[in-house]
Structure 1
Amino acid sequence: MKNVAVIFGGRSGEHEVSLQSAKYIMDMIDKEIYNVIPIGITKDGQWFTGPNVREGLLQGEVFGHPLSIRLFGKDRGFMVKKDDGWQELAIDVVFPCIHGSYGEDGCLQGLLEILNIPYVGSGVLGSAVGMDKGMMKTIFTQKGLPVGPYITFNKYQWEREKDLLFEQIESFGYPLFIKPANLGSSVGITKAKNSEDLLRGVELALQYDLKIVVEKGLIARELECSVLGNNELFVSTVGEIIPGNEFYDYNAKYIDDNSQIIIPAKISSEVEKEIQRLAKAAFRALDCCGLARVDFFYDHQGNIWLNEINTLPGFTRISMYPKLIEASGIKGKELVMELIRLALERKEELDKLRRDF
């Protein structure tokens, strides 16, 4: 029986969301095929494993055995500390479940590449670019994909060129959305209706990231679809989110129960096919694999705008990625098992590459 490590928690503003996703994933793994190893990372970056590690993180405590990572020699991998000392922890495949910084942005993926352990989802490049909203939009634009007006800048630029940047941003017209470049789950996002909101929004976003993105607020419907696969891609039906709050913020996603989700979205078959085509194009533009949720805007003039891609979407009870996949005929257990299979399949392909010259 192979060991699947589900890694969750982490040093991210999405720590709590990760714990919710991890429960869904661990519940969906077929225990007759795989042995599940929970690995929790605290908010200060300590790694632990054990049957109750997730429950401990929920309470802000530590339940479990400390983990270490050995990067040297042939026996690279995870080590667990028990009463009789450090022991090797055999892991055959990893299901990363850390949203945001250090888990979804290529950092964890790079570590697993060094350890030569297969993992679910996109590689270092796709994860990193998919996390950075500024670079993501740059690549989408270069690929000719429809992206709304935006500007990206860092803290250094804001401190030294505030007046110039302010003028450029306001030329878009209000409303505006201010976002940390490298976070998800709407953490640190502000909808600005005037200059005072804009200033407050930039200061808030810079508390979460050194780089931020400001986008023109489009008057449009919010549509999403899910992508599954490595080479041959399955794209789900399209769903719509009608936010109960000012926009689909963190509270609307995970706390309040006042948003409306419509699956399938009430759109024409032509619009659905175009969104599915663009979702595939976005997935391939960033060299993604495994899974992704792709978000769109559909305005009243009939224009479709690519908003962003999420390479490690949430797996909570209200998350759109599994809901859209299930509405397209693939149940939760089947989905999770397929994602693990795709991870192992990709590793087999990589192992066939030559390492000498």
Structure 2
Amino acid sequence: MLRVMVIFGGRSGEHEVSLASARAVMEALDGSERYEITPVGITREGRWVSGNDSLERLTHQLESDDGDHDQDGGGQAGRGSPASEVSAAPARELARERLPSDLGGVDVVFPVLHGPRGEDGTMQGLLELAGVPYVGSGVLASAVGMDKVTMKKVFDYHGLPQVDWLGLTSLQWESERDSLTDRIGTEIGYPCFVKPSNMGSSVGISKVGGPAELPEAIHAAAEFDRRIMVEAGVDAREIEVSVLGNEHPEVSLPGEIVVPEGFYDYENKYTEGASEIVAPADLPRSTVEEIQTVARTAYQAVDAAGMARVDFFLEQGTDRLFLNEINTIPGFTPTSVYARLWDASGLPYDDLLERLIQLALERHGG
């Protein structure tokens, strides 16, 4: 029987999403006689919580925190205000928290951590130091996949099609505001999107219709990261594929994200009924093959392993394909896009989890 440690929660704004993913993963693995599950949670403050009831304890804390925020007039602490979930606890304080004592006794770790301090290479580095096999990409791919500016540079090097973009820092904005505004107007145009470079799940992203809206959008992005990306807007269909594998990755059939209004932001991603996934997407065979080829190239360009979701824009009217981003730990419930696309491609959820665990063991020589 394989001993699988599932790590979830974390200090990012995607704490709640992580709990939902972890619950689905553990329920599926628990139904198999092949695995012994060790759940380990990380609170919003960075405390490690072990024990069979760790998911319930973090869920209870989340509900209590949401209630406190609602009473204070802060609205939804989980979905409506992701910024409120990001812990600012100092590293020296977190260093006093104990890592799980049974980490060295497990066969494989399944990190279900979304966003900074979990998906960005920090957890992967810890597991590398501990010498424990784990599901998903290593330190390099995790870090590159989390940082939008670095990711864009890697994709540019490989000649992959992308919309026009510009990287800057909050300090540059303060000292070069006029020249940067001119560059954005000339090189990027409007509408455009302003995003924190190192953040996931569409947190901190603003759609900008003109130069007067830039300062507020850049300030919003700078709340999450000093490095910021400005990206050209495009009238496009949003297409996504799931990738699975190590040296020889497989790519699922594409799915299409349909959002009735606005863009695919945090609210639309996690509010029930605000968006839907059409899987498989209604696309010509030649377009499907192009998407799969670019996705595979992007996956290998960042040296991803195990799994990733790769997102695209397909421009209306021209059908030009633009690579948007790669997500190395996508949402992982059976109804999440990653799993839905594999199910539509003939690989059900339980089998997908088994493949991921085997890929982790293979990659780490297990």
- TM norm. shorter chain > 0.5: yes
Task: Structure 1 unaligned segments of length 5 or more: list them.
Answer: 70-77, 81-87, 350-357
Verify the 8 A CA contact 2:16 2:62 in the aligned structure 1.
no
Match of 2:292 in 1: 276
Q: Which range moved further: 151-160 or 219-228?
A: 151-160
For residues 46-83 of structure 1, the C-alpha deviation after alignment (integer angstroms, 9 at most, x for no partner) is: 10111221122122279xxx9723xxxxxxxx416xxx
Task: Structure 2 unaligned segments of length 5 or more: list them.
Answer: 64-95
Equivalent residues in 2 for 1:212-251, closer than 5 Å: 212-251=228-267
- Counterpart Cα distance in 2 of 1:42 and 1:165: 39
**For 2:209, which of 182, 193, 197 is the aligned residue?**
193
3-state DSSP of counterpart to 1:326? helix
Q: Which range moved further: 196-205 or 221-230?
A: 196-205
Match of 1:355 in 2: none
Q: Which amino acid aligns with 2:149?
A: G
**For 1:68, which of 75, 98, 101 is the aligned residue?**
98
Verify the 8 A CA contact 2:195 2:221 in the aligned structure 1.
yes
Verify the 8 A CA contact 1:244 1:252 in the aligned structure 2.
no
3-state DSSP of counterpart to 2:194? strand
Q: Which amino acid aligns with 1:339?
A: L
Verify the 8 A CA contact 2:115 2:146 in the aligned structure 1.
yes
Aligned length, in residue pairs: 331
Match of 2:7 in 1: 7
For residues 6-52 of structure 1, the C-alpha deviation after alignment (integer angstroms, 9 at most, x for no partner) is: 11111101111111111111122154111111110011111011122
- The Cα shift of 1:258 comes to 2.8
3-state DSSP of counterpart to 2:101? strand
Match of 2:150 in 1: 135
**For 1:307, which of 324, 339, 348 is the aligned residue?**
324
Q: Which range moved further: 113-122 or 254-263?
A: 254-263
**Cα separation, partners in 2 of 1:317 and 1:200, compared to 1, 3 Å:** farther
Q: Which amino acid aligns with 1:57?
A: L
- Counterpart Cα distance in 2 of 1:188 and 1:244: 21
Verify the 8 A CA contact 1:67 1:79 in the aligned structure 2.
no
**Cα separation, partners in 2 of 1:40 and 1:298, compared to 1, 3 Å:** same
**For 2:220, which of 196, 204, 228 is the aligned residue?**
204
Match of 2:341 in 1: 324
Verify the 8 A CA contact 2:195 2:204 in the aligned structure 1.
yes
- The Cα shift of 1:95 comes to 0.5
- The Cα shift of 1:245 comes to 3.4
Q: Does 1:105 align with 2:127?
A: no
Higher strand proportion (structure 1 or 2) = 1
Match of 1:34 in 2: 35
Q: Does 1:180 align with 2:210?
A: no
- Counterpart Cα distance in 2 of 1:185 and 1:316: 15
**For 1:79, which of 101, 105, 130 is the aligned residue?**
101
- Counterpart Cα distance in 2 of 1:156 and 1:31: 52
Q: Which amino acid aligns with 1:312?
A: I
- Counterpart Cα distance in 2 of 1:328 and 1:31: 23
- Counterpart Cα distance in 1 of 2:126 and 2:340: 30
Q: Which range moved further: 179-188 or 97-106?
A: 179-188
Q: Which amino acid aligns with 1:250?
A: Y
3-state DSSP of counterpart to 2:364? helix
Match of 1:72 in 2: none
Runs of 4+ residues deviating >3 angstroms: none
For residues 119-175 of structure 1, the C-alpha deviation after alignment (integer angstroms, 9 at most, x for no partner) is: 000000011001111000101001011011001112222222222222211222211
**Cα separation, partners in 2 of 1:129 and 1:268, compared to 1, 3 Å:** same
- The Cα shift of 1:202 comes to 0.9
Match of 1:354 in 2: none
Verify the 8 A CA contact 1:225 1:321 in the aligned structure 2.
yes
3-state DSSP of counterpart to 1:22? helix
3-state DSSP of counterpart to 1:168? helix
Match of 1:85 in 2: none
3-state DSSP of counterpart to 1:152? strand
Q: Which amino acid aligns with 1:232?
A: H
Match of 1:96 in 2: 111
Q: Does 1:333 align with 2:354?
A: no
- Counterpart Cα distance in 2 of 1:288 and 1:192: 32
Match of 1:57 in 2: 58
Q: Which range moved further: 43-52 or 327-336?
A: 43-52
Q: Which amino acid aligns with 1:140?
A: F
- Counterpart Cα distance in 1 of 2:55 and 2:261: 30
Q: Which amino acid aligns with 1:327?
A: A
- The Cα shift of 1:317 comes to 4.8
Q: Which amino acid aligns with 1:59?
A: H
- The Cα shift of 1:316 comes to 3.0
Q: Which amino acid aligns with 1:60?
A: Q
3-state DSSP of counterpart to 1:55? helix
Higher helix proportion (structure 1 or 2) = 2
Match of 1:353 in 2: none
